[in-house]
Amino acid sequence: MTIRHQTRREILKATAVLTATASVGGIIRRAAAQGGAAQSRQIDAVLRRATDAKEVPGVVAVAANDKGVIYEGAFGTRNLAQGPAMTLDTIFRLASMTKAVTSVAAMQLVEQGRLQLDQPIGSVLPELSAPQVLEGFDDAGAPRLRPAKRPITLRHLLTHTAGFGYEFDNADLVRYVKATSTPPASTGKLAALRLPLTFDPGERWQYGINIDWAGRAIEAVTGLPLEVYFRQHIFAPLGMSDTDYVISATQRSRLVSVHQRKEDGTLEPTEPKDPPWREFWGGGGGLYSTGRDYLVFLQMLMHEGRFNGAQLLRPQTVALMGQNQIGEIRAGLWKTTNPQLTNDLDLFPGIPCKWGLGYMINTLPGPNGRSAGSLTWGGIFNTYYWLDPQKRIAGVFLAQVLPFADHKAVALYGEFESGIYGGLKAA
C-alpha cells in the first residue's frame, strides 16, 4: 500500500481528459430538454426548501438517462456550524455504496474465470474454508458454535445470504463481540472480520460483512490491494478521479461533515474518525466520492457495462447482476440494535424486495416512479442511489446524516426521485 501516492498521480494524469472540468462555486443544476426546465426548477425548490429548513444540512442530487445527465443540484451547507455551501464537487463518504463497486470488481474476475460464483470461497480464502454458525451462548455467556451445513460461495457473499451480519442488525453479534473481545469494524483490523455466521449459508438474507470478504477474495486472486484494483480497473477507465479510499488534502477541503440527528430532531455536526492505519480495505465500505463520479459508475451499468469508451463488464454479466439471485428469500429489512447508527429499515413498505449480485431489487413499481426490477442501495450516512433499467434512469442522492434511514432524508430522497420521473412525464 506504500505505492499509493505515485500510482494515484500517474493515473489521474492519464485520465484527466475523461473527467469533467467545470468549476463549481455555488448552487448549480442542469436539465436536459426532455426533463424540462420547469420540472428541474421544481426539484430545485424542493431541495432548497428542505435545506433552508435544516431538515438536512445539505444535499447533492444528480440523475441521468441513457442520453446523459438530466439533473444536477447542490443545496445547503457542508457543515451547519461553519459552512461552506454545498457544491457539486463536494466529497462524501459513500459507506455501503462501496458494495456495488466491489461487486462489479468481483464480476469482472468471474468473467475472467479467476473467481467462480458457486464454488466454495474457501478455496480462495482459507479463513472461510470451515465456517462456524453461532447457535447461542452457554450459561457462562460463552458462544456456542457448530460447523456450517454447507460451504460459503461468492454468490452467497454478493447476495448477503452467507450468514454474516453486522452488530447493528443482530443482537447475538453484539453479545459475541463483547464476549470474545473482537475489535469493531471501525478499527480497520482484520480481526473485526472474524465473526461467526448467524445461520447456514443460503438459508436467509442478512446484511453484513459479506462484501468485505468478497473484497478479500478480489485481493487474493489479483495480488493487488483493493484500492489499487479499483483504481486501475474501474475508476481510471471511467474517469472517476474523485473516488478513492484515501483522499488528498485538496479533496479533504471539499469533504462534507457528518451530522447526528438528536432526539429533538435537530442536527449536530460530528466527525467520524478514520483508523490511523487499516489492515484491509473494506469491500463493504470506505470509499469517498462525489455525486458526479458515482453517477458515472451507474451510467456504466445503465449502458450494459460500457461507458466513457471503457468496457468494464459484458452486457450479459450486467443483466445477471440485476436479476433476483435469492429465490423466495426476502431482502432489505432489519431491526436496529444501535438507534444512533441506524433506524429500523424497510425502504419499500408492502413491496417484497430481492437481491441481485450487488444491490436490492424492488419486485413491484416504487411509489415515486421507478419501475419494478429497479436496482438500489445506500450508505450508512444517508447516501442513496437507484438504477431503473426499464426506463433507463439513474439517480444519486447524497447527504451525511446519522442515523441511517433518517426519516427526513429518506422523504427528501423520495421527493427528488418523484421529481425526476415527473420530468419524464412532462417531456
Tell me which residues are annotated as active site. Answer: 96, 99, 207
User: Are 353 and 325 within 8 A, CB to CB?
Assistant: no
User: What pairing do the DSSP bridges indicate for beta strands 258-261 and 267-270?
Assistant: antiparallel
The b/e string for 16-41 (b: 16+ C-beta within 10 A; e otherwise) is eebbeeeebeebebbbbeebbeebbe
As a whole number of angstroms, the distance between CA 151 and CA 128 comes to: 8
The b/e string for 285-294 (b: 16+ C-beta within 10 A; e otherwise) is bbbbbbbbbb
Does the N-terminal peptide bond of residue 84 adopt cis geometry, omega within 30 degrees of 0? yes
What is the DSSP-derived secondary structure letter of residue 184?
A: P
Q: Who contacts 192 (Cβ-Cβ below 8 Å, separation ≥6)?
A: 182, 183, 184, 185
As a whole number of angstroms, the distance between CA 184 and CA 311 comes to: 37
As a whole number of angstroms, the distance between CA 385 and CA 64 comes to: 12
Kindly tell me the sign of the dihedral angle through the C-alpha atoms of 243, 82, 412, 38.
negative
Q: 157 vs 147, 208, 284, 312, CA distance in Å?
A: 18, 9, 11, 21
- Cell of residue 387, nine digits: 438504477
What is the DSSP-derived secondary structure letter of residue 69?
A: E
Q: Match 486472486 to its residue by C-alpha cell.
A: 221
DSSP sequence for 387-425: EETTTTEEEEEE--EESBT-HHHHHHHHHHHHHHHHHHH
Q: Who contacts 410 (Cβ-Cβ below 8 Å, separation ≥6)?
A: 347, 382, 384
- Cell of residue 57, nine digits: 444540512
In 55-154, DSSP assigns E strands to: 58-65, 68-76, 92-93, 132-137, 143-147
What is the DSSP-derived secondary structure letter of residue 132?
A: E
Find the helix or strand (DSSP H, E) in which 42 lies: helix 37-52
